[in-house]
Amino acid sequence: MTVYLDHAASAPLRPEVLEQMLPHLSGVQANPSSPHGPGRRARAALDEAHERLGASIGAEPRALVFTGGGTEAINLGVKGAAWAGKAQGHRILTTAVEHKAVLESCLLLEKYGFEIKRLPVDRYGRVDPDDLTAALTEKTILVSLQWANNEVGTIQPLAELIERTRAGSRALVHVDAVQAAAWLPVDVEALGADLVSFAAHKVEGPKGMGALWIRRGTAILPQVHGGAQERYRRAGTENVAGAVGMAAAFELAAAERELVADDVAERRDGLAGAVLGLDGVELTGHPADRLPNSLSVIVRDVAGDDIVIGLDLEGIACSTGSACTSGSTEPSHVLSAMGYPPSEARGSLRLSLGRTTTDDDIDAVRYALPPIVERLRAGAARLEDGAGESAA
């Protein structure tokens, strides 16, 4: 059986969630916009999913737009708000460690005349609120901030950053809560943002399902055009089963979050003690203000990809960082922004735990990792010695 320690990439679908989805995946899968009986039943299930998800995150059901995942929710929030607000200004602030969905959206907007300011971060991946204040101008229309980083787990000082934005501008605030929602209490009204993005599969829900919360009165330009679905904010026949699954996953997470988070953090700390006890291993991200399931490290003198392969051969699944940049030959943009040189950033290893992680899973890594690192370092040393002899 595989030891799965890649929950930050995607958490396994929870059985209770699947059970609630199954009735909407079999039999007549009617279009919720159809006026007949099956269509009305599909509409009722979709409306109920809006209500249930809203109750889990402190949102009015009408303020939620279901999307095809967290990336689409982020695109709708960032690009939708930017295009809707262009008459008031063209400046957008974000950070250098955002998810690719934010950074690539900003790159596109930049091509159309928007000015993008990417705020720097410290060694832990956190933004200095003073840097945000200094970057605000009367032309700033949007500030997009990640609540918790998807690679290193660092939690931003979000309340202060939003407060600074409100004090220094009339800009809208978009929060990427995709990674944070499974582990941090969510109340979108209390958060103080205008737009908040979520994904189901980070919270043991179905893949390909997300949502954007839009504060009442906030203007956005739809990014998917067609019919009148989702109150004209996102066209296309709705994924009823996905919406039901997302609502169920968030309900369960909200009910169990505190207990589960403490349990997972305890296991994470036990794993950290073993991993950080190896020579040449350094924790990345904030040592305290980070998600309870996140353990991200640099293993010096070894390529992170090679460690991942070695662990995979032992039946342990993990990653070097964000799954969205898997396969890239470039070092992590997050670690680069945090000041790590490419030679060190390529040694990144991310072990992310979940509700179902066991003590046996932790022990498996504890025993498997040291000999893998030792073997890889020995191989690298032999290559260096061989290269040196050839050069001589």
Give strand pairing partners of 65: 212
Query: How many residues are there in the chain?
Result: 392
- Amino acid residing at 171: A
Burial 180-195 (b: 16+ CB within 10 A, else e): bbbbbebebeebbbbb
| Catalytically annotated residue among 278, 324, 368, 380 | 324
What sign results for the dihedral spanned by CA atoms 361, 366, 371, 373?
A: positive
Going across the sheet that includes 348-352, the strands are: 281-283, 294-299, 348-352
CA dist 147 and 145 (Å) reads 6
Q: If phi over 0 gives left and psi between -120 and 50 gives alpha, with beta otherwise, what is residue 231? A: left
State the helix-helix crossing angle for 359-391 and 240-275, rounded to 10 degrees: 70
CA dist 333 and 24 (Å) reads 40
Strand pairing class (91-95; 140-146): parallel
Strand pairing class (316-317; 172-176): unpaired
CA dist 30 and 154 (Å) reads 42
Question: Does the active-site annotation cover 324?
Answer: yes
Q: Give the active site residues.
A: 324
